[in-house]
Chain A
Amino acid sequence: MKLPAPYPVLLCVFWLFSMLAIPFWIAGDGTIAWDYGVLQRAMEALHVGQDPYLTGIAAQDAYRQSPTLQAQEQPPIIYVYSPATLPLLQFLCALPQAVVATIYWTVYVLLILAQLLVSTRLAGPRERRIALMLAPVAVFFPGLLIFDSVLSGNVAFLLFGLVFLAAWWGWSRGHWLFFYAAVILAACFKIPYLMLLAIPLLAGRKQWPQAIATAVAVLGAYALQFRIWPVSFHNYLLAIDRIFSFNKDFGSGPAGRFGAAFAALGLPYPKPEMFFYLATALPLFLVLLYLSRYYRQGVLRREEWLPVLLLGVLLLNPRLIEYEIFPFTIAMALVAWRLITAVTRPRLVAALALPLWGR
């Protein structure tokens, strides 16, 4: 009897054990689906004719005034997506909640898988087998650190799934239309996702007019929302402010850490944070733009260029949250691996880096 080849068996076993670990992880984690809970609370508020932003702000105020709540729970997170997303929530309100949850979590899992599989396409021919085998590990170690953001149910996982699928279509076929549609959808939820437009600019050819048109369309849509739903838009801005003033969640990006340091010192942070963002993001984009020229000339291969490009685009996001870093985990791992193998003493670097990152 002929034994099966070791790699496919190992691959299946690794994926199977990773998938089997997830229910145990959920059981041990205690709290899950906290960001899906935010969506649910917003739907409940809409269902009874309330403003989801104001309901959330009221919950935060109640938390602030109750030492009992503060001792027992984490600060409440509130709905911070633009008013353009409310009609979608209203539509979902009309459906049975069990149906909504089933559809949401099924699509959620599929789009996380899509992100992982698209990310493995960033690996070079010699790295592809190991990247495919280790891909599910990214679920447990987003951003190369241990964190449970994948259990949050945040809508970002859906949006990045669509964006990654469309980006893969773009860089493999040269058609970016789906990508721009995905970015418009993503930016309706979170306007910083407009930075994803840098992907076709840096990986495609002659994409400036389309990218600018997409950005103008999104900004125009926000201006239109201000005109159509002035009260909701005002409350939306109040809710956005609460991310920083109440939740103090500045994210993991350089500008966010800079802003967090200012806030911790009790100094005004919005303007310094913005200037710091511009001072770091602009040079980064210019370096990426310079390197993209070599990609188009064929000096850099796709698998060499795309992981660095994606990492750069990730850093163009002014506020980096754990769930936004997750889709880029495999790209980060590839860049880290290539750096370790590129230096003259790779074993020494790995020996120094691993305990540091494992802390």
Chain B
Amino acid sequence: MYRLDLGPLGLDRGGHILLERALAPLPVGGHLAVTGRDPALPVHLRAWARRRGHRFVDPPGEAAGGSGPGHGGGEALVVVRGDADERRWAGARRAGEAGRPASRADPAWGLAARGALVEAGGPPLPGADLDRRDVIWSEQAGRLYAQAAANQWDPATVVDWARPDLPDDVEAAVVQTMTYLVENEQAALMVPARFLGRIHPHFREAVAFLATQVADEARHVEVFTRRAGLSGGPPGVSGAGGRASLQSLLDEPDWANASFLLSVLGEGSFLALLSFLERHGPDPVTSRLARVVLADEARHVAFAMGHLSEHVTRRPSERDRLRAALERRHDALATTAGLAPAVHDSLVVLAAGSWEPSAMASGWDAVAALQAEMDMGRRRRLVHLGFDDRQAAELSELHTRNFM
């Protein structure tokens, strides 16, 4: 007979925790003698044991009683251990290993922590169809998430939000550029957000990284919106062609394809654009914002490059699917206008820095150089993903003229 003295502790103030601890090592059918000074103990122990699937043994001479609640002067009450706990956990399985994700996540693991002992039954996780490690996960995901978490910045303090002192027509070019950036960042937020809920949480590093990516984009939307309105005027124009280009990103249902189009090609091109804005921004707010956003976007590109290069290394045929996705998007956008002239010309004005014809010519050349730099960056990344130089050049040409 095992013994437990609860002292003054009642079952309504945590005594059950000691009881469970004392019963755990007992075999099913084992007896535990419980003593304690809480006057309600005999009543509560009976009720507790019944609910937990244990058996309360009526104290001798009590069963037919029916008056006093207590038991005679400190005599032990006896609980016989039941088997409900064993039965509850009989079919339990671990949700993979804590240290490394499984090749495929079981829907029955639901929201359980990776490696947790999961009670059988319970609802399977609906909609988490991205459940294969080779599709969603990357060896770099954990490191990139840590980097993202450590490098979050505060829009309120990242820059001195003083109103810039620019000529009206230069400010208008900045506002137009910001208007364009906002709609691109909104697309860059919605694409990973749509996939985020489909990724099995077993792949928590990938989920965590994409959560930071979504948060990054929300911040980008905020700061570009704020810069657009800094001089007090309304935002610029939003061209139908640009929005059609962005919409085609949202329409892509496949995770690898979407990541390829958005992050490798789109955000990859944006690295050059942000670097251009950092160099040519006519005011410190614009330059500074381009710089901090660039650091975030570089991380997004690195994550996509990481998981896609692992993906195509394991399955070389996946390159054909990526190529097909790019071609589909190109065909879908063939009849649209591409980059809105207003955006293009605003970039020229920013790079020109003056309305002199010679300055305008050098601004024009700078934007041409930007587009060439974007092309080179895309080709370099495509080669990294295993396309040869000729394929990389062809595919880069097919990328949207809207940059993202």
A binds B: no
Residues of B within 8 A of A (CB): none
